[in-house]
Structure 1
């Protein structure tokens, strides 16, 4: 699984990058003084530069939460302090990231621990039936006026 661990709707992964002359090739947002998500002091990847180190590696994604760099925890840092850690991280950089798992497309099945593998049937049928009923009502109203 390439150093990744999944639990609770999130996966964690260690990503090793080699700094290029232009840097690591991504921007970050967040921190205690510039929360990206309300009530969350974490550091997130906001943008990945095309042809940068992160882009060429292919594993880091926009929206990933960066938990640590070279083993240094990024929890409760000001934005500028996190930026300094990245700038001074050296040539070989190890990132511990957390990513929200995306629901998989495909047949509905049973996942681990009895979790559903897809959307509940009602989540699809109820809006579909409401839309169909509205369309029929509009059609009947239109025919009455003719």
Structure 2
């Protein structure tokens, strides 16, 4: 999956100028630190406020960085990519695969939509409460619980 792009994927070129705090974003991934299952690519994990990337606005958390200044990042270790960024100069050209909910299978974009449906823990809690109420009614009706106390029969 690392080298192949889905048919709907769109790579964009983004040029950033290094500022006082660098380029203004953090990365994760690499062949030694896979961040997305079956993909050793490099991903943007955080955009820093007031950094070059934030001011530009095009680079987003979850985007996959394919190239730095024309150097393909496929099959590189995380440290190698960090070194490429450090030596890239003041004007850095990135080729970026924009995140899309249909593409990533990792932390960005593939999490279930918890707002749209009840979580399994919530459903379990409701079922458990129903069983407790049914058990209480059953035992009370058989005389095991009267006057606020449990009785032995």
Aligned equivalents of 2:43, 2:96: Cα separation in 1: 9
C-alpha contact (below 8 Å) 1:9/1:101 kept by paired residues = no
Q: TM-score, normalised by structure 2?
A: 0.61
Secondary structure of 1:60's partner?
Answer: coil
Does residue 79 of the first structure (1) align with residue 78 of the second (2)?
Answer: yes
Shift of 1:97: 0.2
- List runs of 5+ in structure 2 lacking aligned partners: 1-5, 103-116, 118-153
Aligned to 2:24: 25
Using the TM superposition, give the Cα deviation of residue 101 of structure 1 relative to its aligned residue in structure 2, in angstroms. Answer: 3.8
Aligned-pair CA distance for 1:35: 0.2
User: C-alpha separation between the residues in 2 aligned to 1:39 and 1:102?
Assistant: 17
Contact 1:11–1:101 under 8 Å retained in 2 = no
Aligned to 2:50: 51
Cα RMSD of the aligned pairs, angstroms, is 1.9
Three-state SS of the structure 2 residue aligned to 1:63 is: coil
Name the one with the larger helix percent.
1
Matches within 5 A, 1:1-146: 8-101=7-100
Deviation at 1:8?
1.9
Secondary structure (helix, strand or coil) at the match of 2:19 reads coil
CA apart distance, 1:11? 1.4
Task: List alignment gaps of at least 5 residues for structure 1.
Answer: 1-6, 104-126, 128-146
Separation in structure 2 between the aligned mates of residue 9 and residue 102 of structure 1, nearest angstrom? 11
Separation of aligned partners in 1, 2:33 and 2:55: 28
